[in-house]
Amino acid sequence: MKNSDLSLSKAHKKKLAHFANIIKLARVDFVINDEEQELLDRLAKLLGIEKQEYKKVLENPDAYPINPPVTYDERIERLYNLTDMIFIDGEIIGDEVDLLQRIAIDLGFPTDIIEKISDKAIHLIINNYNLDEFKSAIKEIYKI
């Protein structure tokens, strides 16, 4: 296997793990509604996840360990996607916030400000901030 194939494989594994986390958030209320399904389909396409992989991740999202992104921008982008998923049905329940915070910690956000970051992320998504605006606002808290 060439080095380029190996790194592509690692990059794809990270995408699968990120997608698995989004599925976990979608399933926290035990149902994936139409809006959530639409977002999952769109993200799978964006992340280059094939239909067979999609099914496998959907069946067992816990089989995909979190691979923290390398850059702060990648971390914030994943946080954006995760927060977007929990609000896709128009409401946010406590279990979703707890899971979002746990995943955000696994992504490398500091535990001492995780509540502040997750609260801000939810506020930004509720108010329809785009990804660039979201990144800027989270960086203000994260002091990057």
**pTM for the full predicted model:** 0.69
Query: What tens digit of pLDDT does each residue of 30-88 get?
Result: 888 888 888 889 888 888 899 999 999 999 999 988 777 778 898 999 899 889 888 87
The whole-angstrom separation of Cα 33 and Cα 53 is 20
pLDDT score for 51: 93
At 122, is the pLDDT very low, low, confident or very high (cuts 50, 70, 90)? very high
Report the number of distinct structural domains present in the chain.
Answer: 1
CA distances from 106 to 38, 46, 56, 93, 130 (A): 26, 22, 22, 20, 23
| Structure-token pair, residue 127 | 């108010």
Residue 75 sits in which domain range? Answer: 3-142
Number of residues that this document lists for the chain:
144
The single residue listed with the structure tokens 């599925």 is: 23
Residue 1 has pLDDT above 60, yes or no: no
pLDDT at 144: 55
**Higher-confidence residue: 36 or 8?**
36
Cβ contacts of residue 71 below 8 Å, gap of 6+?
none
CA-CA-CA-CA torsion for 38, 42, 45, 51, nearest 10 degrees?
A: -10
pLDDT for 130 beyond 90 = yes
